[in-house]
Structure 1
Amino acid sequence: MRPSDVPVVGMLLAGDRSYPSFGSFCDAIRELGYRDGETIQIEPRFADGHLDRLPGLAAELVQRRAKIIVAIGAVSYWAAREAAPDLPIVFAIVLDPVSVKIVQSAERPGGHTTGCTNFDPCQIGEQVRMLKQVVPGLRCLAILGDAGVPDLLPRLSKAVAEAEGLDISVHLLGREEDLETAFAAFAAAKAGGLLCLEVPRTTTYGAKIVEMAHAARLPAIFGRDHARYGPLMAYGTSLALAARRMASQVDIVLNGADAGALPVEYVRRPELIVNLNAARRMAITLPDSFLRLASEIVG
């Protein structure tokens, strides 16, 4: 295949190269028989948590004559769509693509768009109830999110917490320095537990958030892929699973299918990972009944 004939697959990510979706997509596309640099050219662009960089990075992919763009997250999707109105886009890690108007319907998305998501409307409720098992008498829940993305997840989190009879202290990050302000606010509110949402900035700053939660002795639950940072608890469906399914959709589009005719796929395989090292550091005793729920126990 001549270099000019090799299809360019652009990838747009709000996070950095360590984001699980990137490696999982590359592995999955290779398993489908593609060879990067020979039968396909993967062109990744990473915003490293700086969401204002996404439009410029998307424009770079258009200049590289990408045949298709893979967008990780809603904010990346909109940057890609603005830069490339007519290119097929395959997304992953979009909470609810119908409600945020990325697709017309899950069955027939339209608009040269399809994708895969691990969105589970029950996940936050499960996370909050797990925190309540670990923190008897929990009164105030701290919620940490991202100011740069649609507020669907914070709104859902607030509704769940209120339904569980909890007060809430919410902080949405704009930059890493906001973490100091957030944890000061959580301390002032006497928050007894922390729910860290699965959004770009909490992933980019994941290691520091976990360290600050440990230092504050604030029991926290994160999304499944934050487990690599060593939090007390991580629960949900791995974003990497959605990325692997996304690779199959890219393959179908590269072989001539209309992206907008491919149904959006939903991947839900929740796991609970518990870190006993973190529990010991924060002097927290986890109930045996809770540990029995774990898919994996670390330490």
Structure 2
Amino acid sequence: MKKMLAGVLCGSLMLLSACGSGSSETGGGEKKEEMVKIGITQVVEHPSLDAAREGFIAALKDAGYEEGKNLKIDYQNAQGDMNNNMSIAQNLVSSENDLILAIATASAQAVVQSTQDIPVLFTGITDPLGAELVQSLENPGGNVTGTSDTHPDAIKNTIASIKTFVPDAKTVGIIYNDGEPNSVVNVKNAKKAIEELGLKSVETAISTSSEVKQAAESLVGRADVFYIPKDNTVVSALESVINVANEKKIPTFAGESDSVERGTFTSYGFEYHDLGYTTGKMAVDILKDKSPSDIPVGFPENLELVVNKKAAELQGVQLTEEMLKDARIVGE
């Protein structure tokens, strides 16, 4: 009798154990998906960086990672404050995310300084090597890789277009934050291209977005055209430059096409959404156990001339059909 009771009790315990082990399953017997945690840090808010973030999330969704279902995203924006930028990086690391996306150079540097264990992806970076984020572009090494927004011909082609659209221009005015490593690299490359065309450059350096309007005004009378590089501080206050350019009829060339859609005149650029999407596909590979060290740094693939016709009119540029034959037109 005792043996029989023992057998019944054992069987009951086994049944309860079996029922307990099914708690991770849905009613249909399918295993419940584990929640993936991704932290996103962005140094400042502006359309290009926002588009990169949206592209990243879109790639995850297309691969089956959907926010609120099997994906939790902790997005934090430093709003241009470098102390806040470092605090965000440290917070995302301590929160034990499965992966961290850093958008723009300052964000990436802060995260890389904060962890050697969590996989880190970057996007919107001008010079990953110069920023000391990776050991090489082909073999990044360590826990970091991502995408750069530097197409090898973008700056050169944009500067060259000054001769096409404003043939009488002699001086190019540049506004940039000399505390942004990515901007310093862009300005160096732009000045080289300007000199090769036989033009001169005049620069005004700023440190905060509140100084951008005054910087633009300081170039009036000294510059025939403006060139706005891929500078997060300046682009976050781009309307200040555009207002001065429209009022004084100064054609404004930009380092990326999102700024053209906002009201600068022209650029050779690409879609930051596409760049973010490429980064998102890298994230999917990493979540499936591929090492960041084995994923080469990616670059924009498609470069196109973008022209804002309304800005051209406001900034005194006379357009011809020949000028626009290969351009994507916005602002009509």
Task: Give the TM-score band, short-chain normalised.
Answer: over 0.9
CA contact (8 A) 1:131 1:220 kept: no
Extract unaligned runs of 5+ from structure 2: 1-23, 26-31
CA contact (8 A) 2:38 2:97 kept: yes
Please give the residue correspondences for 1:214-253 in structure 2 after superposition, counting only pairs within 5 Å: 214-222=246-254, 223-253=256-286
Q: Are 1:173 and 2:227 an aligned pair?
A: no
Structure 1 residues 188 and 278: CA distance shift in structure 2, 3 A: closer
CA contact (8 A) 1:8 1:64 kept: no
2:40 to 11, 20, 30: 11
Extract unaligned runs of 5+ from structure 1: none
Matches of 2:310 and 2:198, distance apart in 1: 30
**TM-score, length basis structure 2:** 0.83
- Given residue 202 of structure 2, which amino acid in structure 1 is its aligned partner? S
Structure 1 residues 243 and 5: CA distance shift in structure 2, 3 A: same
CA contact (8 A) 2:261 2:330 kept: no
Question: Which residue of structure 2 aligns with residue 207 of structure 1?
Answer: 239
Structure 1 residues 29 and 61: CA distance shift in structure 2, 3 A: same
Q: What is the deviation of 1:158? A: 1.3
Q: Are 1:276 and 2:309 an aligned pair?
A: yes
- Given residue 168 of structure 1, which amino acid in structure 2 is its aligned partner? S
Matches of 2:217 and 2:263, distance apart in 1: 22
Matches of 2:189 and 2:83, distance apart in 1: 25
- Given residue 256 of structure 1, which amino acid in structure 2 is its aligned partner? D
Q: What is the deviation of 1:101? A: 2.6
CA contact (8 A) 1:231 1:278 kept: yes
Q: What is the deviation of 1:230? A: 2.4
SS in 1 for 2:245: helix
1:119 to 150, 164, 167: 150
User: Aligned residue pairs: how many?
Assistant: 298
CA contact (8 A) 1:58 1:80 kept: yes
Q: What is the deviation of 1:297? A: 4.2
CA contact (8 A) 1:119 1:268 kept: no
CA contact (8 A) 2:40 2:75 kept: yes
Question: Which residue of structure 2 aligns with residue 89 of structure 1?
Answer: 120
Stretch moving more, 229-238 or 27-36 = 229-238
- Given residue 260 of structure 1, which amino acid in structure 2 is its aligned partner? S
CA contact (8 A) 1:107 1:262 kept: yes
Q: What is the deviation of 1:296? A: 2.6
Q: What is the deviation of 1:17? A: 7.0
Question: Which residue of structure 1 aligns with residue 84 of structure 2?
Answer: 53
Q: Are 1:196 and 2:228 an aligned pair?
A: yes
Matches of 2:132 and 2:209, distance apart in 1: 29
CA contact (8 A) 1:15 1:49 kept: yes
Question: Which residue of structure 2 aligns with residue 162 of structure 1?
Answer: 195
- Given residue 275 of structure 1, which amino acid in structure 2 is its aligned partner? N
Structure 1 residues 35 and 162: CA distance shift in structure 2, 3 A: same
Matches of 2:155 and 2:122, distance apart in 1: 22
Matches of 1:211 and 1:17, distance apart in 2: 17
- Given residue 140 of structure 2, which amino acid in structure 1 is its aligned partner? P
Q: What is the deviation of 1:188? A: 4.3
1:76 to 85, 89, 107: 107
Matches of 2:61 and 2:33, distance apart in 1: 20
Q: What is the deviation of 1:248? A: 0.6
CA contact (8 A) 1:214 1:278 kept: yes
Matches of 1:4 and 1:203, distance apart in 2: 40
CA contact (8 A) 1:143 1:168 kept: yes
Q: Over residues 109-156 of structure 1, what are the superposed CA-to-partner deviations in whole Å (9 max), with x where a residue is unaligned?
A: 102111122312321111111122111221100112223321211111
Matches of 2:101 and 2:229, distance apart in 1: 22
- Given residue 322 of structure 2, which amino acid in structure 1 is its aligned partner? S
- Given residue 164 of structure 1, which amino acid in structure 2 is its aligned partner? L
Name which one, 1 or 2, has greater alpha-carbon Rg: 2
Structure 1 segments, 4+ long, off by >4 Å, are: 1-5
CA contact (8 A) 1:169 1:185 kept: no
More helix by share: 2
1:34 to 62, 65, 70: 65
Stretch moving more, 125-134 or 225-234 = 225-234
Stretch moving more, 25-34 or 15-24 = 15-24
Matches of 1:96 and 1:282, distance apart in 2: 32
- Given residue 108 of structure 1, which amino acid in structure 2 is its aligned partner? N
SS in 2 for 1:195: strand
